[in-house]
Chain A
Amino acid sequence: MSSDDPQAAQDFHHQFDKVWGNPRGLLALTIVNHTTIGLRFMVTGGVFFLIGGLLAMLIRTQLALPGHDLLTPEIYNQVFTMHGTIMMFLFAVPVMEGFAIYLIPKMIGARDLVFPRLSAFGYWCYLLGGIILTSSLVMEIAPASGWFMYTPLSSAVYSPGPGSDFWLLGVTFVEISAVSAGVELVVSIMRTRTRDMGLQHMPLFVWYILAMALMIVFGFPPLILGSILLELERAAGMPFFDVAGGGDPILWQHLFWLFGHPEVYILFLPAAGIISTILPVFCRRPIAGYRWVVLAIITTGFISFGLWVHHMFTVGIPHLAQAFFSAASMMVAIPTAIQVFAWLATLWNGRPTYEPPMLWALGFLFIFVAGGLTGVMLALVPFDWQVHDTHFVVAHFHFVLVGGVIFPLMAGIYYWLPHFSGRMPHRSLARWGFWLTFIGFNATFIIMHVTGLLGMPRRIYTYDADLGWDLPNLISSVGSFIMAAGVAACLLDIVLHFRFGKSAERNPWGADTLEWTTSLPPSAYNFATLPPCPTRHPLWDNPDLQSTIEHGHHDLATIDHGRRETWGSDPITGKVREIIHLPGNSWLPFLGAVATAGLCISLLSKQYEFAVAAALLSLTFLLRWSWENGAHPKAAPNAEVVEGDPPLHSRTHDGPGLWGMNVTLLANGSLFMSLLFGWFYLWTVAPQWQFPEQSPLSANLFALAGIPLSLALLWFKTIIKHLKSETTKRLTQQLWGISLLGTIHLASLIGLYVLAPLNAQKSAHDAVITVMLLYQMLHSGLAVILTALQALRVHKGYVGEMAPYEPMVVERWWVYTTGVFWLIFIAAIIMPPIWNIN
């Protein structure tokens, strides 16, 4: 299969297309391919952007004149809440994920993401969650407490309608999608790079996405936890944020901004990645200071988790803490400045050309640097006391988010447009679009700083005429309509180009990275054969790469086994370790997401019987999905590979699934740590927190319930040891035994919970304990089910010494579950009597 004849390449393509191709019609719902899923994310995000933009137009129309009463305050509050919510959760994050999902495998020389069904599941969760959330707007019952949902305003007392529930449940649903994309991207980047692509050879964009994905993994769980707690408070009266019950509304602010600040960088990093990708291409030379930039990315990721309190300088935080968070917030200027000057040096050393993507990059630079500088101003505590919650802040974050996200995004869209469509954009319409957007944006938001300094608070639906706010508001409103015209021009350009754009030649911009070696638009499998990539600039080093890939000169050239395959490689060096066989198209992700949407809707309408049914249904689909793995007939019953190739991943000990489980547990651990944070926070800070005279849980009985759990873990560990040394005996029976131990543990835990005198509606103390116990039961229960399923799979012959991979994955779950159990024991049972300050 290595002839250079074009007919041979065609035949080769047909064979691959049989295995990888996308079905049409209704079956399109089963597609799991990352190219399709990535495009779906981007297009859906684009639609939500337009909805969010329309809401912004409403806001600006309302504020154009003093005393304007186009919108009632009830509707205005829904409009600005949904504008923020849609832009952050339904547009910015998903579109960035879409970009990453579409590009990452192509940039690292892989044929698909490592968990394709998870990408599809994530997309459906996002789409359905987005529809549920947006539907509230149509029914005029949308959330109306602002996009950060400060409680008690968002509580059942002050927001009695279903609006807050739409927000809490809808956003959580959408965040499942974000976290699953985060997990998948981390594992794909770490484990599926093509042969010899070491960490030091990864394109910068991949570094940026790796950082973004890890930040999602750690940053989103605090908000998921916060949303669960607030929903429990609203629906079941558990007073986590209610002072009278021993809770504290400030805890919500901490949990929200623990997510909210990293979120800003989750959006900015991929955008900066786009800039770092585009500039070198149009300068015809490598990025200046690759290592500096990587260092800056990593530093940004870390610092961004230490800044959240700067959103809370006026809530009465101790002054020393304010000074600390102020300095930390300013420090983030350093890695950002490093990137700005690395870009400058790239331009300085190169011969830049003005193509449409470069225009947007320039627009980005001006707006983002300005927004970054006002950000440093805001980090200065006394200044923040003055302009916090005014239009100055509104102007600042639009500078950072529009400048730092939308402008690079547009640069990226124009840059990769030929990749999506195979056609080139129209230059002059593109220029009109850019200049209208740029001028409109600046007209809207530069003046808004002044509006804020003149004392206009944010989120007021009207204002009096004699305050000096009339002219600046009018200018902002006119500017916003110019900007809308710019967005419309860009949209028109992009839509028209699909029909009228001239077709793109291969690698039209003369880029250096692997995604430009695919056909335009790309086939579902990206690369017919996987080339080695021991360089940062594969296409600059070897311009013939496209043709050698197509003609079968590289790796994994066979397809007659009917498996979708890509390389599994060493996380550091990129040396090939195994062949990863990927699942094909499936209904399960779609059905799983629909069942989860059913859960979401039944919780919204408070039909709890339906909720239980939907949850079980959804679990069933997900378990069925996990069933079709390993040596299952639908996965890889036959482990034969071409001689000289490494084994299939399901026949190894540490395939990508183990990585997937580990990264998922990091996200899960972040959620649990947030819960522990909540416990200690309420304990030490909440004004009316109280410990009961006697703990509702007996320390001895609780510890007793932990013994079968710990024994089960130890037993599981010996099984793993035997599996690795291929000396297992009676694997099925042993796994059943472990399940039984787990069941005993679970039963005693449930007994303990039922008998404990917990009053979760009266006291925050009991409410937190209840959540901890439920969390533990959920984990113990899943451990039992997963192990029982393993026993069945061993019995069926899908798992065993020849395919020892899955038990290693399940073992991680037992380790985590046991760890959580003893942490709860220490934090909730051992510590209070020792440190009890009551």
Chain B
Amino acid sequence: MLTSVLATGCGGPQSALDPAGPGAGIIAWLWWGMFAFFTLVLILVTGLWLYAMKRRAPEPDEQQATRLTNRWIIGGGIILPLLSITVLLAAGIPAGQYILTLPDDKRDPLRIDAHAHRWWWGFYYPESDITTGNRLVIPVDTPIDVYGHTNNVIHAFWVPRLGGKIDVVPGRVNKIRLRASKTGTLRGQCAEFCGTGHAHMVFEVEVLSQQAFKHWQERQQLPVKIQPQHTQAAEAFQTYCGDCHRVRGVSDGANGPDLSDIAGRRLSHMQSRQKKPLSIAQWLEKPHPRFATEPSPILAEINPQTLERIATWLETLEP
């Protein structure tokens, strides 16, 4: 059973065993090492027990029994765990130290502030003054410092293919250093239970080449392109939605996710039953019940035609 699953691979967009950066890579190695060693220990101990149950040797006298007991207890009960612990700590403490600092990279890390809301992630790039919602874009081979902020409950920031997680705690700012070693799309998810929307607190991580990242940053400074047929929709958006949502060059709301690149974002909570994502129009018509509380009062005020226009326009906002 185990092997059948292993055969299907350790892959997956959120698999800790398919590392895309040195932090996760080291942890994956630690795992495989411990897995191999501890499997041996488990087989050894269980095997010894089964053998001891089966074995029909003459009963030992008191002295033999005591000698044997002490041998088992000192060998298996003290030396074996002590040795294992020593080896583990000798590997684990330097590994932890390395992961925390990634010292082989002398460049200054890129700072990103992750704001955990209920239930979505906002990312802010202080150096370039960029904001994104549920979407973290980072350059490859560059150390990144993610600072976690929240003003509500405890969350945890976690991109398994890059490294471990860090809790995002009200009143504190915790930091985690990460680095990606290949380009591509990864998945991150809130790991600390934060209420009804916890399962949907997913974000996309896009690792770009350094060149592409620069371009992306530059593009983020420009207003979104609005094709002429959508100008009306954009105005309506500004009126009804702009207080909460930001779309570059259109509105500056900060209570909900930035929608400047909504079309490119894979919104997992839109597709609970259907395999393919709902269109934005479908979503607005029947919002996911978990998220209905916030947008619905406004939605009722917009006439259906306008709403559909807004949705169609949003579909064009490619990153």
Are A362 and B84 closer than 8 Å at their CB atoms?
A: no
> A340: which of B8, B45, B88, B195 is its contact (CB, 8 Å)?
B45
Tell me, rounded to whole Å, the shortest Cβ–Cβ distance linking B113 to chain A.
15
Q: Mark A447-474, 1 if CB is under 8 A from B, else 0.
A: 1001001111111111111111101100
Whole-angstrom CA separation of A347 from B49 in the bound complex: 7
Are A380 and B34 closer than 8 Å at their CB atoms?
A: yes
Which residue, of A314, A338, A469, has the highest number of chain B Cβ atoms within 10 A?
A314
Tell me, rounded to whole Å, the shortest Cβ–Cβ distance linking B126 to chain A.
20
Are A345 and B172 closer than 8 Å at their CB atoms?
A: no
Give the B-binding residues of A (Cβ under 8 A). Answer: 67, 69, 72-74, 77, 145-146, 150, 152-153, 158, 243, 248-250, 285, 288-289, 292, 296, 314-316, 319, 322-323, 326-327, 330-331, 333-334, 337-345, 347-352, 354, 358, 362, 365-366, 369-370, 373-374, 376-377, 380-390, 443, 446-447, 450, 453-469, 471-472, 475, 686-688
Q: Does B160 contact A (CB under 8 A)?
A: yes
> A373: which of B42, B174, B268 is its contact (CB, 8 Å)?
B42
Chain A residue nearest to B148 (CB atoms) is A316
Are B191 and A388 closer than 8 Å at their CB atoms?
A: yes
Are A366 and B46 closer than 8 Å at their CB atoms?
A: yes
Are A457 and B42 closer than 8 Å at their CB atoms?
A: no
Are A389 and B191 closer than 8 Å at their CB atoms?
A: yes
> A380: which of B80, B92, B160 is its contact (CB, 8 Å)?
B92
Tell me, rounded to whole Å, the shortest Cβ–Cβ distance linking A468 to chain B.
3
List the 3 closest A-B pairs by CB distance, nearest first: A385-B164, A455-B14, A243-B171
Listed by A's residue number, 12 A-B pairs whose Cβ atoms lie within 8 Å are A67-B273, A285-B65, A330-B85, A344-B45, A345-B72, A350-B59, A351-B59, A352-B52, A376-B34, A388-B165, A457-B158, A457-B191
Tell me, rounded to whole Å, the shortest Cβ–Cβ distance linking B14 to chain A.
3
Chain A residue nearest to B290 (CB atoms) is A73
- B residues 289-315 near A (Cβ < 8 Å) are 289-290
Within 8 Å CB of B10, what residues of A? 453-454
Assess A342 versus B156: contact at CB under 8 Å? Given A348-B52, A386-B165.
Answer: no
Are A365 and B171 closer than 8 Å at their CB atoms?
A: no
Are A446 and B2 closer than 8 Å at their CB atoms?
A: yes
> A382: which of B9, B164, B190 is its contact (CB, 8 Å)?
B164
Within 8 Å CB of A289, what residues of B? 69-70, 73
Are A319 and B290 closer than 8 Å at their CB atoms?
A: no
Tell me, rounded to whole Å, the shortest Cβ–Cβ distance linking A833 to chain B.
26
Tell me, rounded to whole Å, the shortest Cβ–Cβ distance linking B268 to chain A.
5
Are A468 and B8 closer than 8 Å at their CB atoms?
A: yes
Whole-angstrom CA separation of A337 from B44 in the bound complex: 13
Chain B residue nearest to A333 (CB atoms) is B81
- B residues 1-53 near A (Cβ < 8 Å) are 1-2, 5-6, 8-17, 24, 26-27, 30-31, 34, 38, 41-42, 45-46, 48-50, 52-53
Tell me, rounded to whole Å, the shortest Cβ–Cβ distance linking B312 to chain A.
26
Assess A386 versus B27: contact at CB under 8 Å? Given A327-B85, A340-B76.
Answer: yes
Within 8 Å CB of A296, what residues of B? 77
Are B273 and A69 closer than 8 Å at their CB atoms?
A: yes
Whole-angstrom CA separation of A227 from B141 in the bound complex: 47
Task: Of the listed stretches B104-112, B196-204, B217-225, B228-236, name the one at the interface; the rest are far from the partner chain.
Answer: B196-204
Which residue, of A322, A349, A365, A457, has the highest number of chain B Cβ atoms within 10 A?
A457
Are A249 and B196 closer than 8 Å at their CB atoms?
A: no
> B195: which of A72, A158, A285 is its contact (CB, 8 Å)?
A158
Whole-angstrom CA separation of A675 from B99 in the bound complex: 36
Which residue, of B55, B156, B199, has the highest number of chain A Cβ atoms within 10 A?
B199
> A454: which of B15, B165, B166 is its contact (CB, 8 Å)?
B15
Are B73 and A461 closer than 8 Å at their CB atoms?
A: no
Whole-angstrom CA separation of A348 from B1 in the bound complex: 32
Within 8 Å CB of A460, what residues of B? 198-199
Are A469 and B81 closer than 8 Å at their CB atoms?
A: no
Are B273 and A381 closer than 8 Å at their CB atoms?
A: no
Chain B residue nearest to A246 (CB atoms) is B171
Are A468 and B15 closer than 8 Å at their CB atoms?
A: yes
